[in-house]
Structure 1
Amino acid sequence: MKNSREIIVDILLKVEKEGTYLQLLLKKELDGFESLDKSFITEVATGAMKRQITIDYIINEVSTIKINKMKPFIRNLLRMSVYQLKYLDKIPAHAVIDEAVKLTKKKGYATLTKFVNAVLRNVDRQDIILPDDDLSVKYSIAPWIIDSWSVTYGPVIAEKIANELSANRAKVSARINTLKTTKTDLINFLVNESVIPLPGNIYPDEYLYLNGVNDIASMKSFAEGLFTIQDESAGIVSHVVNPLAGEYILDLCSAPGGKSTHLAQLSQNQANIISTDIFEHKIDLVKKNASRLGAGSICAELYDEKDIDKFVGRFDKVLIDVPCSGLGLLKRKPDINFNRNEYHIAQINATQKSIAKTAASFLKPGGSLVYSTCTLNKTENELMVDYISALGLVPDCTLIDYVPDMFKEFVSGGHVTIFPFVANTDGFFIAKFKK
């Protein structure tokens, strides 16, 4: 059986070579490992990926061979090892270096053991100063992303975003399911499961941050539907929708059902919620989550463009949480740094426009459309406000009434940017329109 460091290098190689998603690889590779090893693999694989641009700079400063000229295995072995040397203080440097040298030999690169040893010893001994004026290296975020934030939000906000998404860990955020429990009862339940719950930063009565969690799916409180995992920034979306009893609400891109079940919860199962997606396995996820959480007001069904006539003019409210580049999720999905670019955004923006145009036709006169993304990108956000407005929908300035006070300064007309540095969350964008 491969040891934990072999697994980490394999994961980094697959992300680099095949563009496989880091989170999917972690789920696949962690089977069979003890809890402590799972934590180590997750920490180092995610950390090395998150800090890759900075780590590559450090390696280039001390190595006679530049990172892009190295053999892929050696390159990713060094990335894994440098992350441990520079960002983890619980493992002695000599142990990190020895393990790297052993793995180099084991994988058939015995002639490169001296090189690996020398690079890592130089990294350990030297205090590499990062360039303060290069935010990409400083915060390990792709240059084109930094540039786009600087142009859209200005350099001060851009650096705040970069610092938050780079320096801080993503929290495990649990939405209390008030259809089945109360905050007090859930806290007591979690404490009995040896989990330390802390109040959320935005909605302290609705969300808890969970510390000491290793396997959420195995928790009895989760299985019984007392909570679900959802970042607080995503929770703002459902509040902006403001579901009311008796309304017909469509969640067009609903999988895996986080926002649909939140809408059901906020309306106490009194709204009529249709949750759709274009993939059957995703609809199964929505049904599974709705059942677990007791969200009986949800009807999950496969969306087929051939049947769209049945939706035209039917809904009081439509939510489109559209596919996006996900730049607001860099804290928890660092591989986005390397599998997104301007070309990808142009492609996905065409999909966003198509979804928005179709969704607008589903509203009743006077109905409202909520458009949301988990990205921080002008093309997918502010320019989409212009596009949707051109469809004949009017930006709804009542959005500000449903936005938490800490974000009101970022409201402009009928839209708001949820900057991640405000409350240590993911980044989000929400816009509201009236027909």
Structure 2
Amino acid sequence: MNKKKREKQSDLSARQLAVRILIRVIYQGAYANLALDQGLKNSDLSERDRGLVTEIVNGTIRMKKHLEWVLNNFLVRKNSGLKSHVHVVLLSALYQMLFLERIPAYAIINEAVEMTRRDGPGAAGLVNGLLRNVERNRGTIEFPDPDRRPIEYLATYYSHPEWMVARWLEIYGLEQTEKLLVFNNQPPPLAIRVNRMKTEQSQLMSILDEEGVISRLGRVSETSIILDSLPLPLFRLSSYRQGLYYIQSESSMLISLALNPSPGSLVYDLCSGVGGKTSHMAELMEDKGRIVAVDLHQHKLDLLKINCKRLGINIIESRAGDVVAMLPGFARGDSVLLDAPCSGSGVLRSRADIRWRRTEEDIKAMAMLQSQMLEAVADKVRQGGRLVYSTCSLEPEENQQVIEKFLTKHTDYQLLNVGEALTGRLELMGNEQEWLTVFPPCYGMDGMFICLLRRQ
């Protein structure tokens, strides 16, 4: 981005920047997390306003189906005739009015009107009239009848695709599905994983307190901390630069804890990404041994190296390429992690746009890929070694059914109880299987499937 464009973006208000980012996501196909990071990186907004941008962007994307319903109910002519900028200004303003009640409606409406004054004759007047009409009549908004059209109601009111709601109703029933939909629309907490090679949980909380950070204990014992308020961007904190912690969702932390590789062992992380689980395993190994991290994308492995340098980790070597093609040249490892590509249906709270990017056909395609990858991994675990298969999906086709198919063919593998492996780390609720399905409303964290196997 050139200097002129950077300067122009730094002058934007929080709402203007949010609209610019939303246009990139909704109309240009950008990924929400990447577009948000890029937008904030070039902004001089205060920490409070940066938080508002994040909330408006993620909230508008999450609640888009709900907001479109409301918008179409108040438009005389449906939104097919709206310019993209006017459309996004209206959606973001409606999100603030309906879901951010701490912000006065007049402030939202006034800035929305100002933002659309250059959008042609009548645009500002349309925005002003529609939003004031919504404010006057918000208590009378009607949604599809929940008794006669339950799928359409749940999908519209809680802003999820209808196919997804229909699946979950069949799997979980009405009560649990509605709890899941509510959970998915909550802003995720900012969780960090304590780097126990450098500090302890209580010590780190004291350091954060001295830096002006408001924090509390997380759900993963001795491992996670939730940050409720920051005085400045996280990456500017001394504690961050010193590598005292890593930003990671709490459910992701459970995966490395379940595998729990020993110091001095040979470990493979076969879909490592930027190294959240890889670095966690290195910490558990006290930076002794060898971890080979594999990912298809070199740019992710470049970030992994940066993360490891900050955390003080030296035992990880990275290899870019297709896992299935590379595995024949690997020796058998003591511990292997396959955190497989998946639909991501368990992390809709954290990844606002995933719900709109997935189709039901994706689940079948993912399940085929997952089985193929797991089959390739089977011979790369030594006898007595351990294998963790995990996804951030809630779909049985990607989870239990993949494992059941694998075990039918590979009788030399034995299921181990994940609940026992995580004893003392997490209060397990209703886990009657050897594998663990983290159902978000029960555990208060993103969805995850974890299966622990031992090769006999």
TM-score, normalization by structure 2: 0.88
Matched, 1:83 2:103: no
Contact map agreement 1:195 1:212 (CA 8 A) in 2: yes
Letter in 2 for 1:210: L
CA distance in 2 between partners of 1:325 and 1:67 (Å): 30
Matched, 1:60 2:72: yes
Within-5 A mapping of 1:367-382: 367-382=385-400
Contact map agreement 2:60 2:91 (CA 8 A) in 1: yes
CA distance in 1 between partners of 2:109 and 2:217 (Å): 40
In structure 2, runs of 5+ residues without a counterpart are 1-7
1:12 corresponds in structure 2 to 22
Matched, 1:400 2:419: yes
Moved more, 130-139 or 80-89: 130-139
Letter in 1 for 2:430: E
2:311 corresponds in structure 1 to 293
Distance 1:411 1:109, change over 3 A: farther
Contact map agreement 1:241 1:370 (CA 8 A) in 2: yes
Within-5 A mapping of 1:25-174: 25-30=35-40, 31-35=42-46, 36-68=48-80, 70-106=82-118, 108-126=119-137, 127=139, 128-131=141-144, 132=146, 133=150, 134-166=153-185, 168-174=186-192
CA distance in 2 between partners of 1:242 and 1:308 (Å): 22
Deviation at 1:402, TM superposition (A): 1.7
1:431 corresponds in structure 2 to 451
Distance 1:144 1:121, change over 3 A: same
1:186 corresponds in structure 2 to 204
1:339 corresponds in structure 2 to 357
Superposed CA offset, 1:154-198 (max 9, x none):
3222222111111x2201111111101122321221112110120
| Higher RCO (CA 8 Å, separation ≥ 6 residues) | 1
2:438 corresponds in structure 1 to 418
Distance 1:43 1:289, change over 3 A: same
Matched, 1:207 2:227: no
CA distance in 1 between partners of 2:353 and 2:326 (Å): 36
Deviation at 1:271, TM superposition (A): 4.2
Deviation at 1:24, TM superposition (A): 0.9
Contact map agreement 1:149 1:376 (CA 8 A) in 2: no
Deviation at 1:56, TM superposition (A): 1.5
Contact map agreement 1:327 1:376 (CA 8 A) in 2: yes
Task: State the SS of the aligned residue for 1:367.
Answer: strand
TM-score, normalization by structure 1: 0.92
Deviation at 1:303, TM superposition (A): 4.2
Contact map agreement 2:218 2:226 (CA 8 A) in 1: yes
CA distance in 2 between partners of 1:262 and 1:322 (Å): 17
Letter in 2 for 1:429: F
Distance 1:193 1:410, change over 3 A: same
Distance 1:109 1:388, change over 3 A: farther
Moved more, 336-345 or 385-394: 385-394
CA distance in 1 between partners of 2:214 and 2:373 (Å): 41
Letter in 1 for 2:315: S
Deviation at 1:405, TM superposition (A): 5.5
CA RMSD of aligned residues (A): 2.1
Distance 1:87 1:296, change over 3 A: same
Contact map agreement 2:251 2:446 (CA 8 A) in 1: yes
2:31 corresponds in structure 1 to 21
In structure 1, runs of 5+ residues without a counterpart are none
Matched, 1:386 2:407: no
Deviation at 1:124, TM superposition (A): 0.6
Letter in 2 for 1:122: N
Deviation at 1:138, TM superposition (A): 2.4
Letter in 1 for 2:224: Y
Contact map agreement 1:104 1:112 (CA 8 A) in 2: yes
Task: State the SS of the aligned residue for 1:209.
Answer: strand
CA distance in 2 between partners of 1:101 and 1:307 (Å): 56
Distance 1:378 1:162, change over 3 A: same
Superposed CA offset, 1:261-317 (max 9, x none):
1112223233432222122222222222222212233233334565433315x1122
Deviation at 1:252, TM superposition (A): 0.6
Matched, 1:232 2:254: no
Deviation at 1:118, TM superposition (A): 2.1
Contact map agreement 2:268 2:291 (CA 8 A) in 1: yes
Deviation at 1:130, TM superposition (A): 4.3
Deviation at 1:200, TM superposition (A): 0.5
Contact map agreement 1:190 1:197 (CA 8 A) in 2: yes
1:270 corresponds in structure 2 to 288
Q: How many residue pairs end up in the alignment?
A: 430
Matched, 1:250 2:251: no
CA distance in 2 between partners of 1:175 and 1:354 (Å): 31
Moved more, 251-260 or 183-192: 183-192
Contact map agreement 1:104 1:110 (CA 8 A) in 2: no
CA distance in 2 between partners of 1:246 and 1:303 (Å): 26
Letter in 2 for 1:42: T
Deviation at 1:68, TM superposition (A): 4.8
Contact map agreement 1:243 1:271 (CA 8 A) in 2: no
CA distance in 1 between partners of 2:130 and 2:77 (Å): 10
Superposed CA offset, 1:114-146 (max 9, x none):
322222112111112445542112222222221
Percent identity, aligned pairs only? 31
Matched, 1:195 2:195: no
CA distance in 2 between partners of 1:170 and 1:68 (Å): 32
Distance 1:288 1:391, change over 3 A: farther
